[in-house]
A = this chain, B = another copy of it.
């Protein structure tokens, strides 16, 4: 395996740890917990893992740990730092007892069910220190939800002598980790389950979890690219760049990138929904800015667009819902030959409001809404190129204004989508340190016999050695929500809080960023070796949230 100079240099980086984790670690129990809502229901569903205390880790006398075997699972989309969680877990286990073993289940949760695994040795671990990606054991999207899956897990754990499973995943995977913990407790099979908070989307965040890992690195990669594009825009002075950013539903990534790079506009889905905005409202907002800049002689700029936007536009959401209901297994529709016939058919079936929305859409997008459907017949919203949709609608509106003499500028637009560029980047110092600490915390939770906990590292805007380590019962973060028609216990997903400091800062400055010639910030690429002011900064989101 050939390596780049940076891979080689980075492999020897020793992640920084909180003081409490640097030597011998003792656990203290804090207050007993309640779920954030629906306490009775959650308690009934999790009789054994509900109400457990918070855990704090401090320097102190460590219990002797017998040799144990642990299994680890990567669940869901990649996030920078996943490998370091595993490295922290490995180093922690070996320090407590060199005879302990770490198994990796392959290809995500399915590895547990299908009994696909590998023993993680020091040689393997050393190859993946401080690297991006989830390729050490692979990841997958199989959901651990059914008891037959849990029982298959018991089989392989018994076979390998595994007494604890660490699940590295997002909100859903951690919810399922808790369901699994509860089930194994009920069964009395002696298998602990610990979760770790992963996702670049930044939506696994609450009173306890300050940020999910990967968000820092991914946002820094996207901001590097946005900054580079902005420098190009202000040099060439002739292009509008429409940049869509990954991040599923929530707009955390778009907001963080806006705070880092100060684009001319950033759309925040949560605000669109709160203000009940239509697609035309958004288009008009962009057009107003373009016209104003053109009047100042500035025929260029940048617009950031969160991936999930479409579903936050109430009228579009209704249209998509109607299409999903109408077209699922619709033989009549499938039998139609041409795009035009299909378009007419759809128009005839929609409600008057949705028909109007549908009629206003560019043809390409309208076609996409009716044609490209997932196996369940649903519109694949994440495949909709919102940035192109907006460019097309903005261009049309500007042409009209030009005809009316209300716009004299030139509009040339370029589109970009950033997602896969950042999910597997080499983790920033922040994510490398944070993830390694999370892995180490997981070890100590296991050593203390805990289950149904998520590994917790807090105080993240302070230098790493002042970080606080501990554990939070997963049930504490749960409430009941309707998912696919059923009420389920889930970890609350965090959307952008319009009253929160990050959005408020953005809202206070965006007018200035929209009109200016020189407000762009150029973050540049992630640095690993330079001054701490460059290399060891958390996200702006985190800094603003904690400066309150």
Contacts and interface: CB of A to CB of B under 8 A. Distances in A.
B521 A232 contact: no
Interface stretch (A2-10, A44-52, A265-273): A2-10
A527 B9 CA distance: 11
Interface in A204-247: 221, 224-225, 227-229, 231-232, 234-237, 239, 241
Contacts of A224: 525
Interface in A1-35: 1-10
A1 B516 CA distance: 10
Interface string A259-279: 010100000000000000000
A523 interface: yes
A235 B533 CA distance: 32
A224 to B, nearest CB: 7
A524 B7 contact: yes
Nearest to A4: B523
Contacts of A260: 4
B78 A232 contact: yes
Q: Which of A1, A4, A131, A426 has the most CB of B within 10 A?
A: A4
Instruction: Give the interface SS of chain A, mostly helix, strand, loop or mixed.
Output: loop
Given A132-B228, A228-B421, A524 B4 contact: yes
A229 B522 contact: no
A145 to B, nearest CB: 21
Nearest to A529: B530
Contacts of A239: 420
Contacts of A421: 225, 228-229, 416
Contacts of A544: none
B420 A228 contact: yes
A531 interface: yes
Interface centre among A8, A221, A227, A260 (most CB of B within 10 A): A227
Given A235-B424, A424-B231, A529-B531, A522 B9 contact: no
Interface stretch (A134-142, A308-316, A440-448, A463-471): A134-142
Nearest to A421: B225
A448 to B, nearest CB: 31
B525 A426 contact: yes
A525 B525 contact: yes
B519 A2 contact: yes
A138 B237 contact: yes
18 contacts: A2-B519, A3-B521, A6-B524, A6-B527, A6-B530, A9-B534, A78-B235, A131-B522, A135-B231, A135-B234, A221-B525, A228-B420, A228-B422, A232-B423, A232-B424, A425-B525, A426-B524, A529-B529
In the complex, the 4 A-B pairs of residues with the closest C-beta atoms, listed nearest first? A525-B525, A529-B530, A231-B424, A133-B231
Given A132-B228, A134-B235, A529-B530, 10 more contacts: A1-B519, A2-B262, A4-B227, A4-B522, A4-B524, A78-B235, A135-B235, A228-B420, A229-B424, A231-B425
